[in-house]
């Protein structure tokens, strides 16, 4: 199994497990693996490597977009909780005798 295939499987696994911080941290690893793959390209393997790189690029972009969406959802939930907390605190403060 090529390093590119292993990388793709690792990213898939992290997405399934929703390990968003680890996906974000993989950027340097992705660059390293891609760089090594490009160094070892031969005329015979050029199209296969190109297809694998395109696949990884699309999947990685989708994973990052999904991660950012989840972060946005979490931020909205936190904001809603903070508003509820402030409203409850305000109510309690105003109802003191």
Report the pLDDT value the prediction gives residue 24, as an integer from 0 to 100: 76
CA distance 96 to 29: 57
Domain range for 54: 3-94
Token pair of 71, please? Answer: 């972060």
CA distance 49 to 34: 9
CB-side neighbour CA atoms (13 Å) of 83: 6
Mean residue pLDDT of the chain comes to 84
DSSP one-letter code for 40:
T
Could you tell me the pLDDT band of residue 96, with boundaries at 50, 70 and 90? low
Say if CB 65 and CB 20 are below 8 A apart. no
> How many domains does one find in the chain?
1
In 1-97, alpha helices (H) = 3-16, 20-25, 27-39, 46-94
Q: What mean pLDDT comes out for the span 79-91? A: 83
Report the pLDDT value the prediction gives residue 9, as an integer from 0 to 100: 92
């Amino acid at each position: 199994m090529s390093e590119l295939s292993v990388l793709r499987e690792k990213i898939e696994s992290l997405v399934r497990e929703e390990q968003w911080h680890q996906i974000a941290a993989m950027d340097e690893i992705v660059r390293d693996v891609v760089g090594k793959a490009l160094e070892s390209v031969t005329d015979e393997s050029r199209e296969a490597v190109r297809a694998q790189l395109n696949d990884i690029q699309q999947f990685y972009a989708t994973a990052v977009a999904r991660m950012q969406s989840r972060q946005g959802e979490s931020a909205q939930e936190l904001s809603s909780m903070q508003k509820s907390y402030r409203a409850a605190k305000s109510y309690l403060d105003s109802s003191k005798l």
